[in-house]
Amino acid sequence: MSNDPSAIRVQDVSLAYGAHQVLQGLTLSVPGGSITALLGGNGAGKSTTLAALLGFVLAQSGTISVCGIDPGGDPDAARRRIAYLPENVALYEHLSATENAEYLLALSGERPAPGEITAAFAAAGLQERAWGQRLGGFSKGMRQKVAIAVALLRQVPILLLDEPTSGLDPRATADFNALVTEVRGRGTAVLMVTHDLLSAADVADRIAFLEDGRVTYDVAAEGAERFDVRALHERFQVGSEQVAA
């Protein structure tokens, strides 16, 4: 998988739902082989950004490119290049974790060996005794681990993550961060929408703050400390309060 410098490119995009303007001149890029964390308060436009990249909503102005493809014009082609992990994943209650993984991957045309699936479960922190169990009795955290394993098994150039550490304990969050770092190493462009600033600071190459439908501040990891977490927390708090107001 090549390190495509234009894997995700959003340029001056505006998008409204009726009279409600959600994105206002949004500009954002995520090169291949990198992780960008997008933070913002409720209503800042994070979910709409993901929906636009997936071709579920159309921008009124500006351009969006997914590996050189306009998801508004050819959503199927764009989605074939994306693995998407929503916050609340729709999994099949009557199937086991392994059966869910096999079925969902088959839908995307991929048939990994059984050993690859179980290895992904183990890496995601799902206990071995759960691999053959039906999902009906799974906690949210266990379901999230199944979904994470499936998303990371997809051999595609872009990974979109919507609140990926929601429901995970600190150990599972650390395991997830290690997995995402591994995915970045194979050249994938990762865009992670999150409220978890500490997790973002641990894993992201760049952190961007979304306010009123546009990126108002972004910073790249630098040096051994990577980010000034205290300064980022203050910035995040101010941005969230402004959106809430």
The string of pLDDT tens digits covering residues 62-113 is: 999 999 999 999 999 999 999 998 887 789 999 999 999 999 888 888 888 8
Whether 120 is in a domain gets the answer no
If phi over 0 gives left and psi between -120 and 50 gives alpha, with beta otherwise, what is residue 232?
Answer: alpha
Whether 182 is in a domain gets the answer no
pTM: 0.86
Whether 225 is in a domain gets the answer yes
CA dihedral of 162, 152, 64, 215, whole degrees rounded to 10: 40
Q: For residue 243, give its domain range.
A: 1-81+158-164+189-245
- Give 82's contacts (C-beta < 8 A, 6+ positions apart): 53, 54, 66, 156, 158, 159, 160
Q: Using 50, 70 and 90 to split pLDDT, how confident is the model at 239?
A: low
Cα distances from 27 to residues 13, 30, 65, 157, 159, in angstroms, run 7, 11, 11, 20, 19
Whether 132 is in a domain gets the answer no
Structure token pair of residue 230: 């205290």
Contacts by 223-229, CB closer than 8 A, 24 or more apart: 226/201, 226/202, 227/201, 229/197, 229/198, 229/201
Whether 25 is in a domain gets the answer yes
- Averaged pLDDT for residues 190-219: 92
CA 16 to chain centre: 22
Whether 64 is in a domain gets the answer yes
Task: Name the residue among 88, 77, 81, 76 with its Cα closest to residue 30.
Answer: 81
Computed over every residue of the chain, the mean pLDDT equals 88
Whether 242 is in a domain gets the answer yes
Structure token pair of residue 66: 């997914």
pLDDT over 50 (residue 2) = no
- Output the domain CATH number for residue 53: 3.40.50.300
Rounded-to-integer distance, Cα 193 and Cα 164, Å: 8
Q: Please name the amino acid found at residue 11.
A: Q
Backbone angles phi, psi at 159, to 5 degrees: -125, 120
User: How many domains does one find in the chain?
Assistant: 1
Helical (H) or strand (E) element with 36: strand 34-39
Whether 226 is in a domain gets the answer yes
